[in-house]
Structure 1
Amino acid sequence: MTKSPLLYVTGYRDRHQKIRWRFRRKGYAVHYFKSPYGSKEFEREYAACLQNDPQPIAGRKLIPGSVSDVISRYYADNAFLDLAPATQKVYRGVLEQFRTAFADTAMRSFDAERISRLMTAMRHKPHAAARLRKLLAQLFVIARRAKLVPHNFDPVRDTRPPKAGSGGYHRWTEDELAAFEAKHPLGTKPRLAFDLLLYGAQRSGDVRLMTHAMIARGRIRLDQSKTNNAVDIPIVEPLALSLAAGPLGASTLIETKYGQPFTEKGFYGMMKDACIDAGLPHCQPHGLRKAAARRCRESGCSDEEGMAITGHKTVKEYRLYAGSDARPEVADAAMRKVMANRSAKVATNGDQTVV
């Protein structure tokens, strides 16, 4: 075998004793080069090999009890099949990345110590770590049920994910909202997307695929793609003005310059570029949903009222979005009530004393 400085490329002699070259990378299809080594054509073949997707797991032999085996079992289980398609996509992304790193590793080898090391290695991505830990717990449920690990083997229970200090995506402030509006006036595509995200209070995945039928008769009506939760909220004046100014697409409200719905990455890229142009490189589109929840909280909306707008299913999740920042005006009002109550008690006690 002849070594090459190119990663995954090795040479070998065929039956005519001529040196041939091949690309071999674990999990990927083997490629035998047709062009002479070092030529431009060879370089193009090599680049194509690096850009190829991994072979489908279904086409590879599974080792019983391995990470690949348990992930495949999870995909076929109701615990996964009952999830919304959008959630399945997110979970697949996490699990396939984990499978790439540990495909043939036995699940029983992931004890609490090893999982803790994984969590520590992901301290810079606390939310991703927490999601991986949650999915590992699901995998061990499957593994225990299939008797691939001992019935009492639950290493995830003895671990903790890294603490998330920032609370996820940045929640836009009023000054940041005003800066974006100043840079992107009505009648521009970024402003239309911005207003739908802010005044519609929905996720980017729902906004980018929103149709004309979903905004009929002055209301936004849709089933959220992530949770299947139904929302029915009024279109307020700022959003109505934005919709009137457009530009509206033919099939979806927001379309690319080619008249097609935005992909997930395309929509994010368009909004991220718009944030940078407005001098807000730290802001992201999902933070507008959090800003909408914050406005509900600051306006004195109850949890139930705010959740009817954002579509959150749990109070805990809604409050995470709405925030828990210091609110001096509420504290002032509360303290006035405390002092008024104290004064009333003093007056009552004084009256009793006089009697």
Structure 2
Amino acid sequence: MDIKIHGVKSYRSNGKKYYYHRKSGTRIKEKYGTLRFALKVEELNHICEPEKFGSIPGTWGALIEKYRSSEDFHRLAPRTKSDYQNIFSYLSNMRAAPLDRITPVSVEELKNHTLKERKRDFTNKMLGVLSLTFNFGIRNGLCKQNPVEKIRRIPRDKRKAPANRPWTNEEITVVLKNAPTAEIAAGIGLSAYTALRSGDVLSLKWSDYQNGLIQCQQSKTGDFVWVPVITELRAILDSMDRGPAFIVLNTHGKPYTSSGFQTQFQKLKRSLINQGKIGKGLTIHGLRVTVATRLAEAGCTINEIRAVTGHTTNDSVERYVRTVDQKRQAQTAMQKLEQSKYKSV
């Protein structure tokens, strides 16, 4: 008589008994009652219910668990944690993969598969999270090498237009004027005149708007920023009925989710494009680019621009300054050429 093992079911067919792992439905081919059978059951338990049994030591799943319980992970901003968790969830199918079996060749295959399934930006983010997790494992003696170290990131197609181009002043005016509700206008206006990320805009409360300032703790970095409210934004906010909490509410009086607000913006954008009132390529994040570009055009220093946008390094801001400087120098050069074209060389 068989001893009942938790999580295992059996079937008899043609006089022969077969055993299956109940949760996964996987047939267990090892001989019933042996150590190999018990180890196989344990392995399948770890794979199917890692939150209950934990991951198998020496696997990708175990490395993730160690990293997520570390100070390295806990120190991350909430938005960054969420982004990393999204990557870990995407990679859940490889939780049981032994770390020494994850090689540069297998990572390259994963990169190509992900590129087809989730496009360039997500693929590069995934490679970055994989790499930092393996580096954590090396520092803590959990693995010996980083198989992502020499994997090339996917370059941007230079033939494509910028993903988040700046808006023109006319486009901002038209979109705000045609916004279906005051709340949607406020969401777009806050992005257009503060450079806050969309998620931070949607979390703003009326209590964050005081004494002519918008204050916000950035979800991505955890840092606080204070942005003076300029005339155009003040007109939008001061014309609204102040509710008890959030500024940007949907038609049910609830705060917009990011996807919900994007849906409303896309509807508005498509309508205005079809009417020929705005150009293609507008994005909400493009408003953040717009503010940074306008600040650079106004002659602001890198530190002044960072004080508004909340960037933590100079690299992201320097590109706006370089672009504006290039345009300004090109205009100066062509003016000199224009002025000298009737003079003998």
Q: Distance in 2 between matches of 1:224 and 1:192?
A: 18
CA deviation string 1:70-115 (max 9, x = no partner): 111110111111001111011101111112x312111222222222
CA distance in 2, matches of 1:329, 1:168: 20
Match of 1:94 among 81, 87, 90: 87
Q: How does 1:183-262 map to 2 (within 5 A)?
A: 183-184=178-179, 188-246=182-240, 248-262=242-256
- Counting matched residue pairs gives 291
Aligned-partner Cα distance in 2 for 1:92–1:167: 30
State the one-letter code of the partner of 2:50: I
2:149 aligned with 1:157, yes or no?
A: yes
Cα displacement (A) at 1:162: 0.2
Residue by residue over 1:228-264, the C-alpha shift from the partner in whole angstroms, topping out at 9 and shown as x without a partner, is 2221221001001111222544201111222222223
The structural deviation recorded for 1:300 is 2.2
Asked whether 1:77 is paired with 2:66, we answer no
Task: Pick closer, same or farther for the CA change 1:199–1:135 going to 2, 3 Å.
Answer: same
Quick check: 128-137 or 264-273, which moved more? 264-273
Describe the shift of the 1:176–1:327 C-alpha distance in structure 2 as closer, same or farther (beyond 3 A): farther
Q: 1:26 to 1:68 in 2, by over 3 A?
A: farther
Match of 1:287 in 2: 286
Structure-2 change in CA distance of 1:300 and 1:261 (3 Å)? same
Shift of residue 116, structure 1, vs aligned partner = 2.3
Q: Where does structure 1 lack aligned partners over 5 or more consecutive residues?
A: 1-11, 15-23, 28-53, 341-355
**Residue identity in the other structure for 1:85:** P
* Alpha-carbon distance in structure 2 between the residues aligned to 1:205 and 1:55: 34
Secondary structure, aligned partner of 1:278: helix
Counterpart for residue 115 of structure 1: 107
User: Does 299-308 or 55-64 show the bigger shift?
Assistant: 55-64
Paired letter, 2:83: V
Summarize the Cα distance change of 1:123–1:246 in structure 2 as closer, same or farther, 3 Å threshold: same
Give the TM-score, by structure 2 length: 0.73
Once residues 247 and 283 of structure 1 are traced to their aligned partners in structure 2, the CA distance between those partners, rounded to angstroms, is 28
Report the alpha carbon displacement of residue 326 of structure 1 after superposing the two structures with TM: 8.5
Q: Which residue of 1 aligns with 2:316?
A: 317
Aligned counterpart, 1:68: 61
8 Å Cα contact 1:107/1:149 also seen in 2: yes
Q: Report the Cα distance in structure 2 between the residues aligned to 1:56 and 1:195, rounded to whole angstroms.
A: 46
Give, in whole Å, the separation in 1 of the partners of 2:24 and 2:293: 47
In the other structure, the counterpart of 2:98 is: 106
What letter matches 1:92 in structure 2? Answer: Q
How far apart in 2 are the matches of 1:331 and 1:173? 22
Sequence identity percentage: 24
The 2-side partners of 1:247 and 1:272 are apart by: 25
Name whichever of 331-340 and 242-251 sits farther off: 331-340
Shift of 1:275: 2.3
Deviates more, 1:271-280 or 1:74-83: 271-280
